Structure 1
Amino acid sequence: MAVVVPVRDEEVLLPRCLTALTAAIGTLRAVPEPDRPRVIVLLVFDRCTDRSARVAADWTDFRHHEIDAGAAGVARRDGIRHTLEPLLPERTAAAASAARIWIATTDADSAVPPNWLVTQLALARNGAELVLGTVRPDDDLAAHELLRWEALHTIGEGHPHIHGANLGVRADRYLAAGEFAPVDRDEDVLLVAALRRLGVTEARTALIPVLTSGRRVGRAPAGFAGYLRDHVDIEAKNGIMIR
């Protein structure tokens, strides 16, 4: 299992992210040998100007990679390539090897649940090639705003949402779909569209909700902060009340 996390100036929220990832990896210890997968976590520091890398240094088991792109799509794509390259040394065996690798992505401002990896592993071993999870804003979103968000956001099995902060995909299908597009917005939506054109087997689950930042100003132009501005705030301005 390869976990890739883009990081851009997240020194405040990054400890929450890495602590949660550590707990999710710990849950995998309940998987008996030899079925327990090896987990590689790569933090991709993308044009960071704060102390994010220094903060992450306390998590010595996690790998670091630095780029200067300023784009989440580039960070996810480059991070996955950097992780897969030593795992797929021979092109002739790449497809077979990639079928045994699961890629999971989240964000540095998010906290995955303890069952995040073990649930994706179970779904993958039952035939899923793509897993789409849900997200929930944290306390940066006021209580009345959270109620409004919940009214606009369907949560449940078979949900319609796509979040780069809670996505898993089998590596061979990911490569066949053309990888994450090197863009600064909607890289997750574009990847899922390409995967669906391939006819992948997907699981849209609410079993692994990821807590993410409820802030209005985010690092990606059209990330979750933009979603909150475009939906929760607009509904509030239009006078829609949630009772």
Structure 2
Amino acid sequence: MKPEALAVIIPAMNEADLVGDCLDAVITAVSGNRVPVAIVLVAHHCSDDTETVVRKRFSKLSGLVEGMVVRLDRGSVATARSTGTMAGLYLLAAYGVPFDRTWLLSTDADSRVPADWIDRYRRRMDRRTAALTGLVHVSGCENENTQDDAHEAYHHLMRTTGPHAYAANLAVRADAYLDVGGWPDQVPGEEHALLEALRHNHWPVVPVPDNVVTTSGRDTPRAPGGLGELLGRLRATHAGVPRQALRSRP
């Protein structure tokens, strides 16, 4: 059973420089879908021109795709994701689509989804799945000439630890999301807490490893405990360590 409505939720904190590319990628990914789509950008503690950039992009939307900017000056990024999700469900309410046919997709304002992001997830969206998890690629790691020690250490960490989930690349069915109470107020790791709650309530979580979102490789974090903070720690820890040594570590 294919989805009849989609909501894409994007929190942003002072992302005027990157959010335009993020939205261009999301709009490309949702174009051509013959179902209602709500794109919600949560301007979280923003003091730059993020909202202006977003509203300009949203002014060009047409058809079944609708955009909303939500200004939020409280809480954590988990609060922003939760607020944006409820706003997305509000936008879609007019279509009367049941929650078990509505999917909530999550990404970040410093990320770029692939053009077939929705298509790759839609192939797995049915009653046998309640959540789908994709992977992320850290920008700046495309080749040996641009890959620094922190990025090498990050990929080593990803290769040698367990399954990974990212709020920058996640889809959850609305009925399952509401059943577990939505995004837990836990930062960092709100995506892991959400998925754990789903599993605890026997909602199936399915990895989709061929669906990859590109995310920023910056080490100046917007959210405490996020990828930027991790890269900053890795850069400090592995400064001067030869890449070959990083690759050979068990």
**TM class, shorter-chain normalised?**
0.7 to 0.9
2:177 aligns to what?
174
Per-residue displacement from partner, 1:36-79 (whole Å, max 9, x unpaired)?
A: 32211011111100000111122123211111125110000011
Per-residue displacement from partner, 1:13-56 (whole Å, max 9, x unpaired)?
A: 11110111111112xx2x6xxxx322110111111000001111
- The alpha carbon displacement at 1:115 in A equals 1.2
Q: Is the 8 A contact 1:140 1:213 kept in 2?
A: no
CA distance in 2, matches of 1:161, 1:237: 27
Matches within 5 A, 1:6-25: 6-25=11-30
3-state DSSP of counterpart to 1:211: strand
Letter in 2 for 1:13: L
**Which one of the candidate residues 214, 227, 234 is aligned to 1:211?**
214
1:131 aligns to what?
132
CA distance in 2, matches of 1:197, 1:126: 18
2:51 aligns to what?
53
- The alpha carbon displacement at 1:150 in A equals 2.4
CA distance in 1, matches of 2:124, 2:220: 34
1:162 aligns to what?
165
**Which one of the candidate residues 41, 44, 60 is aligned to 2:42?**
44
2:64 aligns to what?
none
Matches within 5 A, 1:36-185: 36-59=34-57, 60=59, 61=61, 62-85=67-90, 87-88=92-93, 97-125=98-126, 127-139=128-140, 142-145=146-149, 146-154=151-159, 160-185=163-188
Higher strand share: 2
- The alpha carbon displacement at 1:242 in A equals 2.7
Unaligned runs of 5+ in 1: none
CA distance in 2, matches of 1:137, 1:222: 16
Per-residue displacement from partner, 1:130-189 (whole Å, max 9, x unpaired)?
A: 11111111128941333333222139xxx7101100010000001111100234432111
CA distance in 1, matches of 2:28, 2:91: 26
Letter in 2 for 1:84: L
Q: Is the 8 A contact 1:70 1:184 kept in 2?
A: no
RMSD after superposition:
2.5
3-state DSSP of counterpart to 2:199: helix
CA distance in 2, matches of 1:70, 1:227: 21
CA distance in 1, matches of 2:148, 2:240: 14
Q: Is the 8 A contact 2:130 2:205 kept in 1?
A: yes
CA distance in 1, matches of 2:35, 2:91: 17
Q: What percentage of residue pairs aligned between the two structures are identical?
A: 28
Q: Is the 8 A contact 2:36 2:92 kept in 1?
A: no
Matches within 5 A, 1:228-239: 228-231=231-234, 233-236=236-239
CA distance in 1, matches of 2:177, 2:141: 33
Q: Is the 8 A contact 2:183 2:191 kept in 1?
A: yes
CA distance in 2, matches of 1:231, 1:128: 35
3-state DSSP of counterpart to 1:205: strand
